[in-house]
Chains A and B, each alone.
Chain A
């Protein structure tokens, strides 16, 4: 009885290793002219991509350093953006704050709703509707951001007054939701619009993850007499957790770098509003788009410097998302 069945389990995919070396040998052994040219072209394209990435980092850093070296204020902490004067004084504190706040608002709204919609599509919606709805969500992910921006500025903003008044009445005492009655072109509106924009992205990835939750585990829960919600809690969410996290990170990456939707909706100022409801503040991308037109060459370098910071932030966020996805692959591979 104690003799168990270890030997019956197939060994881990060691079979891949020989295939890999074989491929490599085939690539090295490309002696025909056609093979060499083709390999050269395709490898060259790959290297070209690497060169572009390196160039982006190098050129942005170079131009940014030109601006930052002449900055009389602290680039990271200053609350002003005066690049046209001598000596120039500018800093990214306001932009960093606004970018992070608007993205957090977007995430707080979008992630739960996106997860719910993903569950709706995998477990609740009538089966016949699942395909069409998923298709529509795919298409919505393709709507250009400038159209969201136009809709946000002309339709969403006028409809925010009621919500803002209500929040001010009941939650105004928190300070975060107080409202002085200005046009609702504030961080909260921006966050709501960003949430709508990243909703399809998060929904799509989460739906994929939930769909891959193993059917037989769900059946195990069902056969124990679990309700639908209990099945989801026992057999779907535990599998989906890391997937949802990485989906959210991808959405966050989008929200951080979104330009036009913020530029159309926000009425920017170069200071920090403690309330989410009062207009003002700014984000990296919005600031670049709005200030670019009148900027001098030095002003553009300063904007490039702020863009470099945005670049680094999105790299970190996306890198974290990819790392989570990669770890999940390993995890599920080990259990397959």
Chain B
């Protein structure tokens, strides 16, 4: 019998720190950090926090290692680091949501939603985002009209027909396209416009947005089509139904919920894109309802321009926040509705 085994603790009663120990250590380190901070005359609360965090980690390790052993101490350190990371990440995200809502509601009212900037100077209060909302809806709508059919049909090709080199190439390039920075998509359309000598207009933005949207639609639709059980296809084909009718009447209806969800999530993604719109649509304080001619406004671009042209004016910042709140609300509603549809229309798997 090896010596190592004799060392084994004969009892199951591992010495454990009480449940309140982590809180006590946290409180202690915080108090100590404040003490050190005051004594050393450190002004930044960030410093206090850092000192407290270091004291907490060291203290936890020291105490736990003495009482429970190093293995438990390591486990406790890992646990506290994981929790700290989570809390650390929550702070900016909560701040983002909180600030957007708190500042956004200041000027967000019916007037703001139904009027445009017109001749209101960027540094003065007043004006609204009607033109921006209109422009965004048109640009995103047109982009969806292009990207959704192309994306869905491509996914159908990949799942229902494709097996050879062509489909492998498409799969690869769809992946590549997913990673295109939005500004590059904008530059591509810009290079076309330079050659055709075109001035900025809404539909140009739609084209860039469509390029960003297509791969997302392909990916999500593909996933959904793959979920349709092969038995369904075979059952239909075995009845002598031609393949294209099988796809239209059996495969697509089964997965339509998921496909819709994917498209809506893709819309939510492109609705917030600013860079290509900045290059191709320019923005416009006046209402321009024609996406095919002349510069148009757009909601994300409006936020950027209010920020960039504000010259520090509070009124412009207020408008920027209010527009941000509107944009976030739009994106979130799309997200929630999309997920709702996904849950409601989810194919019954029988599990």
Contact = CB atoms under 8 A, between A and B. Distances in A.
Direct contact of A and B (CB under 8 A): yes
Interface of A: 20-21, 23-24, 26-27, 30, 32, 34-35, 37-39, 41-50, 52-53, 55-56, 59-60, 62-63, 112-113, 116-117, 119-120, 124-125, 138-140, 142-151, 153-156, 162-163, 165-166, 196, 199, 227-230, 232, 250, 253, 256-260, 263-264, 285, 288-289, 292, 297, 300-301, 303-304, 307-308, 310-311, 314-315, 317-319, 322
B52 interface: no
Contact of B75 (A47, A140, A228, A310): A228
A146 B274 contact: yes
Given A150-B321, A151-B96, A259 B275 contact: yes
A300 B46 CA distance: 43
B224 interface: no
A322 B99 contact: no
A43 B161 contact: yes
Given A48-B154, A166-B46, A311-B184, 16 more contacts: A24-B164, A42-B156, A42-B160, A42-B161, A45-B153, A47-B166, A49-B173, A50-B170, A119-B82, A144-B300, A146-B304, A147-B328, A151-B96, A257-B180, A289-B278, A318-B179
30 contacts: A24-B164, A42-B154, A42-B156, A44-B153, A46-B162, A48-B154, A52-B214, A53-B173, A59-B195, A124-B83, A139-B332, A142-B331, A145-B274, A146-B324, A148-B96, A151-B99, A154-B307, A155-B95, A166-B44, A196-B93, A228-B78, A229-B75, A230-B71, A230-B75, A257-B183, A260-B300, A285-B183, A292-B279, A304-B187, A307-B187
B205 interface: no
Interface of chain A, helix or strand or loop or mixed? Answer: helix
Given A42-B154, A229-B78, A120 B243 contact: no
Top 8 nearest A-B pairs by Cβ distance? A144-B272, A257-B181, A318-B179, A116-B85, A38-B244, A162-B44, A42-B157, A45-B153
Nearest to B325: A147
- The range of chain B's interface size is 35 or more
Interface in B43-60: 43-47, 50
A39 B179 CA distance: 28
B161 A23 contact: yes
A144 B271 CA distance: 8
A257 B276 CA distance: 12
Most buried by A among B92, B100, B176: B92
B192 interface: yes
B244 A52 contact: no
A77 to B, nearest CB: 22
B140 interface: no
Given A24-B164, A146-B304, A307-B184, A140 B93 contact: yes
Given A150-B303, A150-B307, A292-B279, A34 B245 contact: yes
B190 A304 contact: yes
Most buried by A among B81, B183, B190, B303: B183
Given A113-B85, A310-B184, A26 B99 contact: no
A116 B89 CA distance: 10
A260 B175 contact: no
Given A45-B153, A151-B95, A162-B47, A260 B304 contact: yes
B27 interface: no
Interface string B137-166: 000000000000111011011101111101
A162 B44 CA distance: 5
Nearest to B50: A166
B38 interface: no
Nearest to B174: A49
A153 B307 contact: yes
A143 B271 CA distance: 10
